[in-house]
């Protein structure tokens, strides 16, 4: 191990553990003498034994793997890692957001999930996203997303509490302690954090509160500086000491409700910052929900995912069912990708028509995941060309297994307004427990609204509801409802044993990203590292030609690598975003693959979002 004095950062000197050999003349301390103050090493892949944690952030993964080394299990490590991501990835996750936690119990072999999705306030009207001044919907970004009306009741504290109580060994206080310490001592600002802050400057400046933390001296913190968040450190410690009911029933609940109803709008902003409808009683009534996972069989594997309120499990599962009859292994890459894109578009058509919060919508989950339905849907795939979009939804009441006639249901184009950031982690331990956890505050930077003195941002998750009310839309705004998500944390078993756990950020592109990685790994025979790194193309049946939700939005690298092979099918591939911006990337995923003899391959993103960090407990067996 080599210890290198990297650069002076504020009053501290940052030490980074970055390699295997001593750097002559620089190192003045040894690892035994001093723990590094900041872990900045990005390790995209680690191979080893005894447990692993992977996330997009080196500090967070280090905290997680240290929990495992100290005897904690995968659930303890996942909560500790998630809390650390709330420090270092505050624009993608944190106490003010929600997420979905999928857990494979090493003792019983069962897979469980927790739905920690945000909820709409009880008083939210169906026209909440219509500007009363114009009678038209607010522009989505930056207007609607920068608001109190888009803030849902946070689900993340309840998720952590529920996971630890059911399957963890740590009390909440212990699981949050390393993240509290991290918030106190700070982390080294990297290019991604700097860029995300800069891209949010206007939105943060819409409030009187947020710039004080995230725009010190009026601008984004410099790359290489240390960013500290003592308010968040205190909040974590208080929640650890007093429990999450203190968050949901106490002063923080009152503060959140009041902020959403009366946002601390800056007098200088030209953004409207629409107010919301949340009351303390909405927070007091919040519960994370245990749900049975979705399950499909795919080529001898058992694929478990997140059921509604996320559309992840049903949509990934339906697409896999559509693909299963095809012998993808015998096809060339262009044909495989053609089938992948079409299966995704078809499953998205059904997602749009049938999937919403199951407390409000009778989601035909069994039908959506049936092989009969998949057979009916797969008929739409033409082996030689892409079908016109938007494709119509299938009819779940028709169980004859025959191809549906084209006119059986009208195609509906619903704009896809989900945005492209969140964060994801994977953890496992020596007892065979596995956690796949995707968590978010929706937009990068969420609503942009900081909870003062508490150190975390509030989500804008309610913008995942459809903007315009349509009584036939399962994702229409309803009081107390959870907006439909695309988050798709997925655990795949083979003969009852873990094979791969994976997940991704990316709004509605999460679903195709997870699907593409599964096809890459199982059908194309790519390694899990290659599957994580593979350029991404994403077909969400939007039927639009705009850059943000074109039928196939793709990373430029996907267009460069696969475009020529897809052109004969008639695809138009649209770059996902302006080069150099966060939006140009699709899905900084994480995964762990389980090999023979307890061998673990932990993988994080090699380049997207600046690269992540995958760590194992030990490089050696035993």
Instruction: State yes or no: residue 356 binds ligand GLU (CB under 6 A).
Output: no
Nearest distance in Å: CB 605, ligand GLU: 14
Smallest separation, CB 418 to ligand GLU (Å): 5
Judged by CB under 6 A, the stretch of 223-231, 500-508, 557-565, 570-578 that binds ligand GLU is 500-508
Shortest CB 511 distance to ligand GLU, Å? 9
**Min. distance of Cβ 100 from ligand GLU in angstroms?**
8
Maximal C-alpha separation, the chain: 76
Alpha-helical regions (H) of 172-250? 172-185, 191-199, 201-204, 210-214, 230-242, 244-249
Q: What is the DSSP string of 496-518?
A: TEEEEEEE--SGGGHHHHHHHHH
Of 58, 506, 551, 587, the residue at the interface with ligand GLU (CB under 6 A) is 506
* CA dist., res. 90 & res. 220, Å (int): 14
Of the candidate residues 177, 206, 477, 487, the single one contacting ligand GLU (CB under 6 A): 487
Q: Can you tell me whether residue 153 is helix, strand or coil? A: strand
92/424 Cα distance (integer angstroms): 10
Cα dihedral 114/366/419/488 (nearest 10): 50
Count of CA atoms in the C-beta half-sphere (13 A) of 34: 17
| Structure token digits, residue 86 | 């709330």
Binding residues among 249-288 for ligand GLU as defined by CB under 6 A: none
# residues contacting ligand GLU (CB under 6 A): 15
Q: Identify which of residues 381 and 510 has a Cβ nearer to ligand GLU in the complex.
A: 510
CA 366 to chain centre: 25
- The Cα–Cα gap between 320 and 311 comes to 14
For ligand GLU, the closer of residues 487 and 566 by Cβ is 487
3-state secondary structure of 195: helix
- Name the residue nearer to ligand GLU (CB basis): 36 or 505: 505
Environment class of residue 334 by beta-carbon count within 10 Å: exposed (0-12), middle (13-18) or buried (19+)? middle
Active site (annotated) includes residue 41: no
Distance (Å, rounded) from C-alpha 165 to C-alpha 158? Answer: 10
Instruction: Give the tokens for residue 225.
Output: 């500086």
Q: Of these residues, 88, 192, 235, 422, which one is catalytic? A: 422
- Among the candidate windows 152-160, 499-507, 554-562, 563-571, which touches ligand GLU by CB under 6 A? 499-507
Of 221 and 505, nearer to ligand GLU (C-beta) is 505
C-alpha to C-alpha distance for 599 and 50, rounded to whole angstroms: 8
Closest CA to 145 of 364, 396, 446, 404: 446
Q: How far is CA 107 from CA 111, 428, 430, in A?
A: 11, 13, 11
Q: Under rule CB under 6 A, which residues in 436-475 are in contact with ligand GLU? A: 440, 442, 461, 464
Contact with ligand GLU (CB under 6 A) among 150, 210, 314, 486: 486
Q: How far is the CB of 118 from ligand GLU (least distance, A)?
A: 9
Write out the two tokens for 32: 């035994």
- 485 near ligand GLU, judged by CB under 6 A: yes
Site for ligand GLU in 404-443 (CB under 6 A): 418-422, 440, 442
Task: Find the shortest distance in angstroms from Cβ 515 to ligand GLU.
Answer: 14
Query: Quick one: 102 or 233, whose CB is closer to ligand GLU?
Result: 102
484 closest CA partner among 465, 470, 469 = 465
Nearer to ligand GLU, 442 or 593 (CB): 442
- Looking at beta carbons only, is 260 or 315 nearer to ligand GLU? 315
When asked if residue 344 is in the footprint of ligand GLU (CB under 6 A), the reply is no
Q: Residue 369 or residue 510: which is nearer to ligand GLU going by CB?
A: 510
Judged by CB under 6 A, the chain residues 130 through 149 that form the site for ligand GLU are none
Which of 276, 507, 577, 587 forms a contact with ligand GLU (CB under 6 A)? 507
Task: Report in angstroms how near the CB of residue 348 gets to ligand GLU at its nearest.
Answer: 13
Cα(44)–Cα(30) distance, rounded to whole angstroms? 25
Question: Would you call the peptide bond into 559 cis, given omega within 30 degrees of 0 as the criterion?
Answer: no
Q: Compute the C-alpha angle 88/312/328, nearest 5°.
A: 110
Q: Which stretch binds ligand GLU (CB under 6 A): 212-220, 378-386, 481-489, 575-583?
A: 481-489
CB of 442: closest distance to ligand GLU in angstroms?
Answer: 4
In the complex, which residues of this chain contact ligand GLU (CB under 6 A)?
A: 418-422, 440, 442, 461, 464, 485-487, 505-507
User: What residues act catalytically?
Assistant: 422
């Amino acid at each position: 191990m080599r210890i290198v004095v990297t650069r002076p950062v504020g009053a501290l000197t940052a030490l980074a553990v970055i390699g295997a050999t001593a750097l002559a003349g620089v190192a003045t301390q040894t690892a035994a003498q001093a723990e590094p103050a900041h872990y900045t090493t990005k390790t995209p892949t680690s191979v080893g034994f005894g447990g692993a944690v992977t996330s997009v952030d080196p500090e967070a993964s280090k905290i997680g793997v240290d929990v495992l080394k100290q005897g904690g299990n995968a659930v303890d490590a996942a909560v500790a890692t998630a809390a650390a991501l709330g420090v270092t990835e505050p624009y993608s996750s944190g106490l003010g957001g929600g997420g979905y936690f999928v857990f494979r119990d090493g003792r019983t072999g069962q897979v469980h999930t927790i739905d920690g999705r945000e909820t709409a306030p009880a008083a939210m009207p169906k026209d909440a996203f219509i500007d009363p001044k114009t009678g038209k919907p607010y522009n989505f970004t930056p207007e609607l997303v920068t608001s109190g009306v888009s803030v849902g009741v946070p689900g993340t504290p309840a998720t952590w509490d529920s996971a630890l109580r059911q399957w963890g060994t740590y009390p909440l206080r212990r699981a949050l302690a390393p993240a509290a310490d991290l918030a106190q001592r700070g982390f080294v600002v990297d290019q991604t954090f700097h860029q995300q802050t800069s891209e949010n400057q206007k939105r943060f400046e819409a409030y009187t509160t947020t710039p004080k933390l995230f725009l010190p001296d009026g601008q984004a913190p410099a790359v290489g500086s240390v960013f500290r968040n003592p308010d968040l450190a205190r909040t974590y410690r208080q929640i650890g000491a007093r429990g999450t009911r203190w968050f949901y029933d106490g002063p923080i609940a009152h503060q959140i409700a009041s902020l959403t109803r009366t946002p601390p709008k800056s007098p200088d902003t030209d953004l409207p910052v629409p107010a919301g409808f949340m009351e303390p009683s909405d927070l007091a009534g919040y519960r994370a929900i245990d749900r049975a996972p979705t399950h499909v069989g795919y080529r001898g594997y058992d694929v478990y995912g997140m059921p509604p309120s996320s559309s992840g499990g049903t949509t990934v599962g339906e697409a896999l069912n559509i693909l299963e009859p095809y012998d993808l292994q015998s096809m060339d890459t262009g044909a495989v990708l053609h089938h992948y894109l079409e299966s995704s578009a078809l499953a998205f058509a059904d997602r749009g028509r049938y999937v919403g919060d199951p407390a409000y919508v009778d989601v035909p989950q069994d039908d959506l995941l049936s092989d009969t339905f998949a057979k009916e849907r797969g008929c739409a795939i033409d082996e030689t060309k892409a079908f016109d979009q938007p494709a119509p939804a299938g009819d779940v009441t028709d169980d004859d297994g025959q191809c549906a006639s084209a006119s059986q249901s009208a195609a509906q184009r619903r704009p896809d307004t989900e945005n492209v950031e969140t964060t994801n982690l994977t953890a496992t331990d020596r007892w065979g427990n596995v956690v796949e956890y995707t968590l978010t505050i929706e937009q990068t930077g969420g609503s942009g609204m900081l909870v003062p003195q508490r150190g975390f941002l509030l989500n804008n998750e309610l913008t995942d509801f459809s903007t315009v009310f349509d009584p036939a839309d399962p994702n229409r705004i309803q009081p107390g409802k959870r907006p439909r998500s695309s988050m798709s944390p997925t655990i795949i078993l083979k003969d009852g044993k873990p094979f791969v756990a994976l997940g991704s950020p990316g709004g509605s592109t999460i679903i195709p990203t997870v699907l593409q990685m599964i096809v890459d790994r199982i059908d194309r025979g790519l390694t899990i590292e290659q599957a994580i790194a593979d350029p991404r193309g994403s077909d969400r049946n939007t039927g639009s030609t705009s850059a943000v939700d074109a039928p196939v939005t793709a990373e430029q690298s996907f267009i460069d690598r696969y475009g020529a092979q897809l052109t004969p099918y008639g695809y138009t591939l649209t770059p996902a975003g302006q080069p150099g911006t966060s939006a140009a990337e699709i899905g900084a995923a994480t995964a762990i693959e389980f090999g023979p003899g307890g061998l673990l391959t932990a993988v994080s993103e090699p380049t997207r979002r600046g690269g992540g960090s995958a760590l194992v407990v030990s490089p050696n067996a035993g």
